[in-house]
Amino acid sequence: MAETIFVGIDLGTSRTSITASNGFRKTVWSYVGYPKDHVALKRLGGREIIYGQEALENRMSVHLYRPLAGASVKQQGVVDPEPVKKAIRDLLEYVVREINAPADAVIYAVIGAPAQASVAGKATILEAAANCIDSVIVCSEPFAVAYGLDFLDDTLVIDIGAGTTDLCRVHGSMPSAEDQRTHYVAGDSIDQSLSKLIQDKFPEVQFSINMVRAIKERHASVSPKMDEVEEVLPVGGKPTNFNLTEQVYSACYTIVPPTVQALQDLIATYDPEFQAKMRNNILLGGGGSQIRGLGRAIEKGLSEYGGGKVTLVEEPQFAGSNGALKIALDMPTEFWAEFRTNRELASQGMSGLVS
């Protein structure tokens, strides 16, 4: 009898994490690269696709895709072009292949998506999954975080990724659309804000968005007592020291007001008898949760609405994929039949979804 492997996947704009029932787990950068020409193909050892950090480091030699950025999975009203769909499919196949499942294994997966993912976005995930997964369920990313940590009773979950900040109201049952909010001030938005603030203050400085992202990841903070940010950046090719403390703080703080507003909206539209409990049970996860002082800043922002208590998740890198795996393991067997795909048909270029 074929082995069944359950998988949880947090398909992120910046990083994708996977946790499997065979004990495997891994996080990769959500990049896919295709060699530009025969010289690049030779340089990459004949490989027609490279992934993750390697793709990013070889971006001068490849057509580089960060396929979840701006895709229908993350943005409403987007139509994904075929190259983006292919890159999403290739990325998903890569992370599933990494679990080293036996060739005849049956793979059941729960994949996290933004709280208010569009129908088109979910369809893109299902289409991509049909090539490598036998049955797939798409769930809300913040709900997966809450489920994995057993925070299922009157909890507000914030999941901050690169493309979106997703919020979910959890109250002992599967969340509905009314229980979820998404806004687009997240990791990528902070990078863009920081880039503009640096350029406005120091117009002579030279940098790339990847350099700005690295600065943010080293120093991100909204603490009023944050450490000084000293970075060396080129000016006309000459390494020059800059103090970027104010710019890093201001860029990171842009996430606080829309998050507080979304939290208060979820609180205000909840049963008044349980609002105070929910306000004091806020779970903060995702890569953006590592911004120093963010939990305290959100609590301070909620003070005019009656206050709140924010708890940071442990292992934010795997909280979403761990929760998705737990959902997969707890799902009744008969449910998987409703969400099955046909990998053989998909591999032949035909629809992999089975009605």
pLDDT tens digits, one per residue of 7-16? 999 988 899 9
- Helix H or strand E segment including 321: helix 316-330
Copy the structure tokens of residue 171: 């109250």
Copy the structure tokens of residue 301: 């922002």
Closest CA to 86 of 11, 9, 162, 32: 32
Tell me how many domains the chain contains: 3
Residue 233 lies in a domain: yes
Cβ–Cβ under 8 Å, residues 124 and 339: no
CA 87-88-92 angle, to 5 degrees, is 115
Both 262 and 169 in one domain: the answer is: yes
Both 125 and 51 in one domain: the answer is: yes
Chosen domain end from 253, 279, 306:
253
Distance, CA of 121 to CA of 40 (rounded, Å): 32
Residue 352 lies in a domain: no
Judged against a pLDDT cut of 50, whether residue 352 lies above it is answered with no
Distance, CA of 191 to CA of 210 (rounded, Å): 9
Range of the domain at 289: 151-185+255-315
Residue 186: pLDDT band (50, 70, 90) is very high
Long-range Cβ contact pairs of 210-213 (< 8 A, separation 24 or more): 210/56, 213/187
Q: Which three-class secondary structure state does DSSP give residue 61?
A: coil
Distance, CA of 168 to CA of 154 (rounded, Å): 10
Cβ–Cβ under 8 Å, residues 182 and 309: no
CA distances from 148 to 39, 320, 322, 323 (A): 46, 8, 6, 4
CA distances from 331 to 136, 139, 184, 206, 339 (A): 11, 12, 31, 51, 12
Q: Would you state the pLDDT for residue 74?
A: 74
Both 141 and 158 in one domain: the answer is: no
CATH of the domain at 37: 3.30.420.40
Both 196 and 331 in one domain: the answer is: no
Judged against a pLDDT cut of 60, whether residue 354 lies above it is answered with no
Q: Would you state the pLDDT for residue 334?
A: 84
Q: Would you state the pLDDT for residue 288?
A: 93
pLDDT tens digits, one per residue of 30-55? 999 999 999 999 999 999 999 999 99
Both 15 and 64 in one domain: the answer is: yes
Residue 355: pLDDT band (50, 70, 90) is very low
Both 136 and 282 in one domain: the answer is: no
Both 160 and 294 in one domain: the answer is: yes
Both 193 and 272 in one domain: the answer is: no
For residue 181, give the amino acid letter. R
Both 112 and 59 in one domain: the answer is: yes
Both 163 and 99 in one domain: the answer is: no
Q: Please state the rounded mean pLDDT for residues 154-160.
A: 94
pLDDT tens digits, one per residue of 65-87? 999 888 777 777 778 899 999 99
Copy the structure tokens of residue 97: 């292949």
